[in-house]
Chains A and B, each alone.
Chain A
Amino acid sequence: MIRLKDVQMEYENGTKAIKGITLTIEDGEFVFLVGPSGSGKSTIIKLLTGEVEPCAGRIMINGFSVSNISDKQIPLMRRTLGVIFQDFRLIEKKTVYDNLAFVMRAVGAPQKEIRKRIPYVLHLVDLENKANSYPTELSGGEQQRVAIARALVNNPNTIIADEPTGNLDPERSLELMSLLVKINELGTTVVVVTHEKDLVDRFGKRVVTIESGHVINDSVGGYVGGRIHG
């Protein structure tokens, strides 16, 4: 479960990115986080992944209190999350298999489990034939599916996707979003930051709209009010 209570965040340069957000995402939910540029969406992602600390308020993620987490607990908290980035962030000199294997090794998974888990996850994202390919040999959609597989491989409670369709055409975007919905149906909480209004409306999921560091709308069914600009 993710819970933000009266969270405020101000960067060192004085920019107030989050001005008091209270938000709860239950286990197993699928939530779109939308809003214009500079609204604070990316800061929320950074707060959730422990990259930045809030100036005020409390953040609880999967049983960890991120607002006063110790340095030693941060890796443990991050193991409950799977993060997907707009630019995929795959390691080009490693094969698809190795891109997945090294994140499993990073959390101490034994070789036997790695050999068993990776084919399963690659099958889930329909890339079982690309295990030995390098990221540069794949299309954008395939690379993003590898990124999803990497986020899934350690079996996290929550997937956080930051503009996952930003570099994909509409058809691939729909395909990818459907995959995230499928993952959600298997029990994983999914939080998607996006500016693709059509996609958001199409899936009829919970939509939280952020503007100027505040939540201005939280409803189910599609985007309501304001503008969405990436």
Chain B
Amino acid sequence: MAKRHDFQYFFHEGLSNMFSHGFMTFAAIGITVACLLIMGTFTLVAVNADAQLRDLEQENEILAYVDETYTSQQAQALQSKLERIEGVTTVTYISREEAMEDFKAEYADDEIFQDLDPQILRDRYAIKIGDLEQIQQIKREVESVEGIADVSAYEELASGFITLRNVATVICVALIAILFVVSVFITSNTIKLTTFDRREEIAIMRMVGATNGFIRWPFVYEGFMLGLLSAIIAFLLQWGLYEAVAQGVASNDTLQLIRVVPFSQLWAAVAGTFAGAGILIGVGGSLSAIRKFLQV
């Protein structure tokens, strides 16, 4: 177990190593920042795409048509039965008169539809669900409710959303994993160059009886500080970039339909992930770089 004064020494050595190998430090930070930014940008695009999909999911609803022999009161009595179905979030009753009004409003330019009798339509329920993946099961349960004559649900559309979200998630995770490995590899090689520069120092330390732990710690501190500094820089750049894109989207007429998740909702997760990934890349790179110099 190293003593406290050792850690002060390791910290001091790690810090002075960073400054004495300025170019290499700059290169390692630059590469880590670039990798974090690319990973962060992909993740934020995925987060926004997911949020967008969830919004679209919310608009997807099941329409349950009530048997036309039911009176208005009987039809409204079905509401509680429908609400009890697991996975259903909201159930809205639409009388045949309201449905006709909606219909007429939708075809306002077409006079032929303006004089229709509401009795040709059925009372209905608009049912929203929490998870699109349950749509088929919920549809079956709604169909089994006595008094429901017919159910319409856009299952193919829902299935399309689910596939799109799953593909986006897989691509995002794969890209992040690849970029993470690339970052560790590049950072490791960059630190390896600084280690190579200090091989004489390491050889002398080994010759006088320094333990591997004592030799390794300053490099671990250096990796930690490199990673943390990279994470801070990457976070600030990511913030600026995100806000710029969000403003661009907001001010563009054609893109206004896209809802950008505010950075204030994401900053803590981004900062935490960047710090964790940066430190992991820095320390992992350092340990991997120093390994071959520690073989006795």
When A and B form their complex, what is the total count of cross-chain residue pairs whose Cβ atoms lie within 8 Å? 54
A224 within 8 A of B: no
Q: Which of the residues B3, B9, B204 comes within 8 Å of A89, measured between beta carbons?
A: B204
Determine if B5 and A111 form an interchain contact, defined as CB atoms under 8 angstroms apart: yes
B139 close to A (CB within 8 Å) = no
In the complex with contacts A91-B200, A91-B201, A154-B208 CB distance below 8 A? yes
Which residues from chain A contact B296 at a C-beta distance below 8 Å? 50, 71, 74
Contacts of B210 in A (CB 8 A): 75, 103, 106-107
Question: Does A102 make an interface contact (CB < 8 A)?
Answer: yes
Number of interface residues of A (CB under 8 A): 25
Least distance between A126 CB and chain B CB atoms (Å):
22
Determine if B112 is an interface residue (Cβ-Cβ < 8 Å). no
Contact B207 A83 (CB under 8 A): yes
In the complex the two chains form, what is the Cα distance from A98 to B210 in whole Å? 16
Q: Given A50-B296, A108-B6, A110-B5, do A103 and B200 touch, yes or no (CB 8 Å)?
A: no
Question: How many angstroms between the C-alpha atoms of A74 and B208 in the bound complex?
Answer: 10
Known: A91-B201, A93-B20, A106-B214. A78 touches B207 (CB 8 A): yes
The answer to whether A105 and B207 touch across the interface, beta carbons within 8 angstroms, is: no
Q: Which residues of B contact A189 (CB under 8 A)?
A: none
Query: Of the candidates B5, B20, B200, B211, which one forms a contact with A75 in the assembled complex, judged by CB atoms under 8 Å apart?
Result: B211
Closest partner residue, chain A, to B3 (CB atom): A108
B1-48 contacts to A (CB < 8 Å): 3, 5-6, 9, 20
In the assembled complex, the CB of B69 is this many whole angstroms from the nearest CB of chain A, namely: 88
Residues of A within 8 A of B204 (CB): 89, 91, 103
Q: Does the CB pair B205–A102 fall under 8 Å?
A: yes
Min Cβ gap A205→B in Å is 25
Q: B207 contacts A49, CB within 8 Å?
A: yes
A216 at the interface (CB under 8 A from B): no
- Pick from B6, B201, B204, B206 the residue with the most CB of A within 10 Å: B204
- Interface presence of A76 (CB below 8 A): yes
**CB of B220 to closest CB in A, whole Å:** 16
User: Residues of B contacting A82 with CB < 8 Å?
Assistant: 208
Question: For the complex, what is the distance from the CA of A82 to the CA of B208, rounded to whole Å?
Answer: 7
Contact with A along B207-244 (1 / 0, CB 8 A): 11111101100000000000000000000000000000
Q: Which residues of chain B come closer than 8 Å to A106, judged between CB atoms?
A: 205, 208-210, 214-215
Q: Which of A74, A75, A89, A110 neighbours the largest number of chain B CB atoms within 10 Å of its CB? A: A75
The docked-state distance in angstroms from the alpha carbon of A78 to that of B200 is 17
Report Cα–Cα, A150/B209, bound state, in Å. 13
How far apart sit A108 and B1, CA to CA, in the bound complex (Å)?
Answer: 11
A19 CB-CB contact with B under 8 Å? no
Closest Cβ–Cβ distance, residue A176 to chain B (whole Å): 19
Is the C-beta of A117 less than 8 angstroms from some C-beta in chain B?
no
A78 B5 Cβ-Cβ under 8 A:
no
- Complex Cα distance, B74 from A64, in Å, reads 96
- Give the distance in Å from the alpha carbon of A150 to the alpha carbon of B206 in the complex: 13
B16 CB to nearest chain A CB (Å):
9
Say whether A107 contacts B208, CB under 8 Å.
yes
What residues on A are CB-neighbors of B3 within 8 Å?
108, 110
Q: Is A130 an interface residue (CB 8 A)?
A: no
**Complex contacts, B206 vs chain A, CB 8 Å:** 75, 78
Query: How far is it, in angstroms, between the C-alpha of A78 and the C-alpha of B207 when the chains are bound?
Result: 6
**B208 contacts A78, CB within 8 Å?**
yes
Distance between Cα atoms of A46 and B73 in the complex (Å):
99
When distances are taken between beta carbons in the complex, the residues of chain A under 8 Å from B6 are 105, 108
Q: How far is the CA of A108 from the CA of B214 in the complex (A)?
A: 9
In the bound complex, how far is the Cα of B206 from the Cα of A93, in angstroms? 18
A154: chain B residues at CB < 8 Å are: 208-209
Asked if A79 CB lies within 8 Å of chain B CBs, one says yes
Contact B201 A107 (CB under 8 A): no
21 A–B contacts, CB within 8 A, in A order: A71-B296, A74-B296, A75-B210, A75-B211, A77-B209, A78-B207, A83-B207, A83-B208, A93-B20, A103-B204, A103-B205, A103-B208, A105-B9, A105-B214, A106-B205, A106-B208, A107-B208, A107-B209, A108-B6, A108-B214, A154-B209
Q: A108-B214, A110-B3, A111-B5 are in contact. List 12 more A-B contacts (CB 8 A).
A: A71-B296, A75-B212, A89-B203, A91-B204, A103-B204, A103-B205, A106-B208, A107-B208, A107-B209, A108-B3, A110-B5, A154-B208
